[in-house]
Amino acid sequence: MSREEILQAKDRSIAHLKRIFGDEAETVIAEERYGFISGLLKDVLKKPAIERLTLSDNIDKVVVNRWLGIPLFLAIMYGVFQFVFTLSAPFMDWIDTFFGWLGGYTSGVSPDWLGSLLADGIIGGLGSVLIFIPPIFLLFIAIAILEDCGYMARAAFVMDRVMHKVGLHGRSFIPMILGFGCNIPGIMACRTIENPKDRLTTILINPFMSCGARLPIFVLLAGAFFTANQGLVVFSMYIIGIIVAIIMALVLRKSILKGPSGHFVMELPPYRLPTITGVLVHMWERGSLFLRKAGTIIFGVVVLVWLLSSLPWGVEYASAESWIGQIGSFIAPIFAPAGFGQWQAAVSLIFGFLAKEVVVGTMGAIFAAEGGLLGGAIASQLGWTPLIAFAFMVFCLLYVPCVAAIGAIRGETNSWKWAGFAALYTTVVAWIVATLIFQIGRLFMS
Amino acid sequence: MFKKEITIALAGNPNSGKTTVFNNLTGARQHVGNWPGVTVERKEGSCRYQEYHIKVVDLPGVYSLTAYSPDEVIARNFIVDEKPDAVVDIVDASNMERNLYLAVQILEMGVPLIIALNMMDMAESRRYRIDFNALAQEIGVPVIPMVANRNRGTDELLKEIVNVFEGKSAKKKIKLYYGSELEEHINELEELISHDEELSRQFSPRWLAIKLIEQDKEVLEKIGDKL
């Protein structure tokens, strides 16, 4: 067999070369290639005798500085949220007014059930999600600018030391940053991590990174319960997500995923002025996903919620006696220790597994309201305090990621076991943290 | 008018501006899917130039073509299996030492290669002087200077793609010389491989020989399967 011959010849060569070079042939080949390139460049490339420190180098002296790096990262993230809120507020008001008008107009449609479906279900439910188009798109613009100008690579570099302490490396922070847009690309980006245990850990903590779909929940509740400090409260969600992710990485690395971590040299690309097209393309890639979800899964759930709220026939819409009320009342006691043991909250969390915006959409359909009215309805009808709202936001941040993200974990780990584990442990962590916040907070409040 | 189909693959290191070049070439005519079997994103687009219809496949951004990461395997399997009419390697002109490592490996695979020397503005601002002709001469492939984020050089690149496709581009077969010791073994294996009709039809014998000496896991498996 000639194939056999080839493989035998190969083995002979490798053994021989190893004796001669005292090193793997692979290494020698790589060295030869670099040698060829440096020889080539002698003829091709003339560099100035003294390379001046470029602007990039000078900026990096500050940005990746040992002491300034992390505070600067936090300051930039905080600035991003302030930017997003200030700029999106007027646009959200316009959309709110529009849906308010549309709701008033459609509620008069006959027959009554159709008017209710349009006004309570679709406009209340879908409208309450669509109103968040401005902040979501602005957040994606901000993230795209930070990525395209080269800052995000620095953020990963700055976090490298922290990540080392928990048994990972800065490389793992890049998927985490991607997770701010959506967890699915974040989880997929983990494939560049070579060490299998590093990779699995990074995949499992990615859902704690607050994706764009969670933003509507935060903005809605922060707007209703923390009017003065909206930006700060939403910012705190992102920070809590990062902290919980890092703590869980440490826990996983010390328990079920023990082992040495790999090494990776990180690259700092030079700073570049982002182009408008580039930023818009990136914004659209992520933002269009949100719009597509609104047209499909969120719309579907909203209609389902409306139906469950209207049945059995003749029941008062979205009352505790409706089917949805019965389902919610059955599960609600689980959440009582965390403060939000109302059936409306329980139901919206369950549907939120399909997509996290649905938490808001479900509430919108149940209370037949959107925008500022929805925030008010949650405060008055559920009797929530700011503390409860905060615990609920934290629960939404941490509990099981959406079904698509679980699918991505299944795909990337090639195991239902790890996907199931991810769904379960995130929910347990969410319940514990939310309960702690509510119970400890209550001690201070009383 | 009759349109001729050209397929090209875009290769390049991460941060070399590959995505920008891809967008410049294809505009809005893009299609995003997945590489078979894995969930790495596969971006494809197309453009028309003169009487040609050019299909552009965006390979994952990689530094090298080993078998250590799925991205690298995808990139090189595309080149080996689908044999594009040309591979365009986007090289960061301000960081040629590292970027050319990928170019050298693509060259070895025996596919027509075009080097797009991107971010020329960056190199100029650092006062690098680059002799394109010398580079093209010594490496034996066309070199196109570009500033992709200002859409400079796109037309020249398209013209060169057509030239390469039509065989009008002056090219020399440049062989990277690995030193007498390694060459002896590479040549021996190359010789054996070129007698194997099936293997030499699918792979460039020299590339396969080098990969065998590198003990490339994936290539070994492939050959093993064919035993």
Please list every residue in chain B whose beta carbon sits closer than 8 Å to the beta carbon of residue A7. Answer: 212, 223-224
Whether residue B174 lies inside any domain: the answer is no
Q: Which pLDDT value is given to residue A98?
A: 85
Strand order in the sheet with B41-49: B30-34, B41-49, B52-58, B4-12, B86-92, B113-118, B143-145
Q: Is the pLDDT of residue A120 over 90?
A: no
Record the tokens describing residue B125, joined without a space.
């601002």
Residue B19: domain span: 4-165
Record the tokens describing residue A65, joined without a space.
């500085």
Total structural domains within chain B:
2
Q: Which pLDDT value is given to residue B34?
A: 62
Whether residue B102 lies inside any domain: the answer is yes
E strands, A100-146, are none
Q: Where are the domains of chain A?
A: 2-46, 69-445
Whether residue B64 lies inside any domain: the answer is yes
Mean pLDDT on B163-170? 84
Whether residue B73 lies inside any domain: the answer is yes
Task: Give Cβ neighbours of residue A80 (< 8 Å, ≥ 6 apart).
Answer: A139, A142, A143, A146
Q: Which pLDDT value is given to residue B225?
A: 63
Mean pLDDT of chain B, nearest integer: 86
Nearest CA in chain A to B15: A269
Co-location of B108 and B215 in the same domain: no
Co-location of B189 and B133 in the same domain: no
Taking an 8 Å cut-off on Cβ atoms, the answer to whether B39 and A40 are in contact is no
Taking an 8 Å cut-off on Cβ atoms, the answer to whether A10 and B176 are in contact is no
Q: What is the pTM of this model?
A: 0.64
Taking an 8 Å cut-off on Cβ atoms, the answer to whether B126 and A47 are in contact is yes
Greatest mean pLDDT among A307-316, A372-381, B160-169, B175-184 lies in B160-169
Taking an 8 Å cut-off on Cβ atoms, the answer to whether A278 and B223 are in contact is no
Of the listed ranges A288-292, A385-389, A430-434, A436-440, the least confidently predicted one is A288-292
Co-location of B187 and B159 in the same domain: no
Q: Which pLDDT value is given to residue A310?
A: 78
For chain A, percent of residues with pLDDT exceeding 90: 15
Co-location of B152 and B192 in the same domain: no
- Of B119, B137, B165, which closes a domain? B165
pLDDT for A218-247, tens place per residue? 988 998 899 888 888 988 999 999 999 999
Instruction: Give the strand pairing for B86-92 and B129-130.
Output: unpaired
Please list every residue in chain A whose beta carbon sits closer than 8 Å to the beta carbon of residue B190. Answer: none
Whether residue B133 lies inside any domain: the answer is yes
By Cβ distance, the residue of A28, A192, A270 closest to B71 is: A192
Whether residue B105 lies inside any domain: the answer is yes
Q: Which pLDDT value is given to residue A119?
A: 74
Co-location of B18 and B66 in the same domain: yes
Q: Which pLDDT value is given to residue A97?
A: 82
Mean pLDDT of chain A, nearest integer: 83
Please list every residue in chain B whose beta carbon sits closer than 8 Å to the beta carbon of residue A43. Answer: 131, 134, 138
Instruction: Give the strand pairing for B41-49 and B143-145.
Output: unpaired
Min Cα separation B199/chain A (Å): 9
Mean pLDDT on A315-340? 83
Co-location of B191 and B138 in the same domain: no
Q: Which pLDDT value is given to residue A253?
A: 86
Nearest CA in chain A to B191: A6
Record the tokens describing residue A157, joined without a space.
């570099």
Nearest CA in chain B to A189: B40
Q: Which pLDDT value is given to residue A100?
A: 78
Co-location of B145 and B64 in the same domain: yes
Distance CA A216, CA B218 (A): 46
b (16+ CB within 10 A) / e for A321-344 = ebebbeebbeebeebebbbbbbbb
Q: Is the pLDDT of residue A393 over 90?
A: yes
Co-location of B205 and B120 in the same domain: no
Co-location of B22 and B125 in the same domain: yes
Mean pLDDT on A393-404? 91
CATH classification of the domain holding B132: 3.40.50.300
Please list every residue in chain B whose beta carbon sits closer than 8 Å to the beta carbon of residue A191. Answer: 38, 40, 69-71
Distance CA A359, CA A361 (A): 6
By Cβ distance, the residue of B14, B179, B215 closest to A26 is: B215
ipTM above 0.95, yes or no: no
Min Cα separation B5/chain A (Å): 27
Most B-contacting residue of A13, A52, A182 (CB-CB within 10 A), to test interface: A13
pLDDT for B91-149, tens place per residue? 999 889 889 999 999 998 888 999 999 999 888 888 889 998 889 888 889 999 999 98
Q: What angle do CA B49, B103, B30 make, to 5 degrees?
A: 35
Co-location of B133 and B211 in the same domain: no
Nearest CA in chain A to B31: A285
Q: Is the pLDDT of residue A435 over 90?
A: yes
Whether residue B127 lies inside any domain: the answer is yes
